[in-house]
Amino acid sequence: MAASTCDVFSFCVGVAGRARVSVEVRFVSSAKGKGLFATQLIRKGETIFVERPLVAAQFLWNALYRYRACDHCLRALEKAEENAQRLTGKPGQVLPHPELCTVRKDLHQNCPHCQVMYCSAECRLAATEQYHQVLCPGPSQDDPLHPLNKLQEAWRSIHYPPETASIMLMARMVATVKQAKDKDRWIRLFSQFCNKTANEEEEIVHKLLGDKFKGQLELLRRLFTEALYEEAVSQWFTPDGFRSLFALVGTNGQGIGTSSLSQWVHACDALELKPQDREQLDTFIDQLYKDIEAATGEFLNCEGSGLFVLQSCCNHSCVPNAETSFPENNFLLHVTALEDIKPGEEICISYLDCCQRERSRHSRHKILRENYLFVCSCPKCLAEADEPNVTSEEEEEEEEEEEEGEPEDAELGDEMTDV
């Protein structure tokens, strides 16, 4: 049984604490499912709501490569200068205006049993109360034979960077139900996310795991069951149920990116400086990012994904009237209006990045069909309906470069929003 719209919204207001009472979830159509609508005038630039995820988890390769983040809220734990030193490969890298770094190492705490790090006592307590009692490996944190470590190693051997999902998001779903006093409430909340047909689920799993996905999915299901079986959600551990759970995370997981360096840069941008000092600082930052690109490439952030109930109700448009971001350097998602939104108007975000949105209708549809299994009928796509179903030479070259440089699962999942 699915939770009502009122239940979902009340949950988000209670958990996030800053959701605005300016939206409601409505059923749109059998093709689109639910949608999020404004109930009052929302001005351009206004924050529509702030939402905390039901669960979130850092990507496993991202964590393995020392992108240090809070194990609960994904807040970056490195000082901005430490972050710059690691990303540039220059241990002596010094940042001006170090006072602008917001990282508070004096507040960091670790789990006394397995030593995973949190940005604060509040996050450590929240994780303990929701799921970490089940997932804490204790002194077996580095034991390769521990069931959770076997599961994570199997996932890393299948799903390589750039990452778009994590088996630990599913693990935290199960652990949350295991620890909950009111298990049915959490099961209802997780059931809010969109469901797909069996054929569509197979397409999603294939996209995530590759051509040998059936054997790999069964391996993951067996390890997942050994580590986490829970009678209250026994259907999640059957072959069909596990595929459905996998597809749920694959289509609804919202990318989360955090960076102490990015926060420092934003703070530098806000400084009131003399023109000469501003030019000098901007030149320094430009060179810093060039050095990072040369040493690290595009992997700048602590990265993970989360399940957001309200955000998952936002349908796609190639001309969105809202966008998502993570300006607090943690997993709190902000949805902001890109233009005035009238009462009764649907709030739409884009599942495509800026460059993808500028491509032809045919190319946009190809990306959306392959990764989200729907055909877009937004105003822009309808206006371009008479265009030929061909991809320009320039776009074909871009797609070839992407396919050569990325594994086939690279597009899946919502666009990772810059912090």
Domain extents in the chain? 1-53+312-350, 55-255
User: 317: which 2 tokens?
Assistant: 């448009």
Tokens representing 178 are: 């295991």
What pLDDT is stored for residue 391 in this prediction? 62
- Look up residue 414 and give its DSSP letter: S
Between 4 and 133, the higher pLDDT residue: 133
**Cα 168 to Cα 170: distance, rounded to the nearest angstrom:** 5
Contact call for residues 172 and 51 (beta carbons, < 8 A): no
For 244-269, write each residue's pLDDT tens digit. Answer: 998 899 889 999 999 999 999 999 99
List the structure tokens of 85.
Answer: 């030193």
Q: What is the mean pLDDT of the chain?
A: 87
Q: List Cα–Cα distances, 30 to 80, 153, 164, 196, 327, in angstroms.
A: 47, 39, 27, 12, 34
Q: Computed over its alpha carbons, how large is the radius of gyration of the chain?
A: 22
What's the CA gap between 159 and 155, in Å, rounded? 6
Collapsed DSSP state (helix, strand, coil) of residue 228: helix
Sheet holding 55-58, edge to edge: 55-58, 302-307, 254-258
User: What are the tens digits of pLDDT across the range 65-88?
Assistant: 999 999 999 999 999 999 999 999
Q: Residues for the chain: how many in total? A: 419
Q: What pLDDT does 214 receive?
A: 84
Q: What local confidence, expressed as pLDDT, does residue 207 receive?
A: 74
Kindly state the average pLDDT of the residues 310-314: 92
Between 226 and 17, whose confidence is greater?
226
DSSP lists the bridge partners of residue 42 as 341
Confidence of residue 410 (pLDDT cuts 50, 70, 90): very low
Closest CA to 215 of 247, 232, 248, 239: 239
Q: What was the pLDDT predicted at 386?
A: 83
Per-residue model confidence as pLDDT tens digits over 332-351: 999 999 999 999 999 999 98
Give me the CATH topology for the region 1-53+312-350. Answer: Beta-clip-like (2.170.270)
Query: What's 51's DSSP letter?
Result: E
pLDDT given for residue 13 in this prediction: 40
Q: Whole-angstrom Cα distance, residue 192 to residue 186?
A: 10
Amino acid at 13: V
Looking at residues 344-364, what average pLDDT do you find? 91
How far apart CA 265 and CA 327 sit, in angstroms, is: 12
Tokens of 144: 């390769």
The CA-to-CA distance between both ends of the chain, in Å, stands at 36
Q: Regarding predicted confidence, which is higher, 300 or 4? A: 300
Residues 202 and 240 sit within 8 Å (Cβ to Cβ): no
pLDDT digits (tens, 9 = 90+) for 25-58: 999 887 778 899 999 999 999 999 999 999 999 9
pTM for the complete prediction?
0.86
| pLDDT band, very low/low/confident/very high, at 194 (cuts 50, 70, 90) | confident
Q: Across residues 98-117, what is the average pLDDT?
A: 97
Q: Give the separation between CA 370 and CA 250, rounded to whole angstroms.
A: 12
Comparing 144-158, 170-184, 347-361, 401-415, the range with the smallest average pLDDT is: 401-415
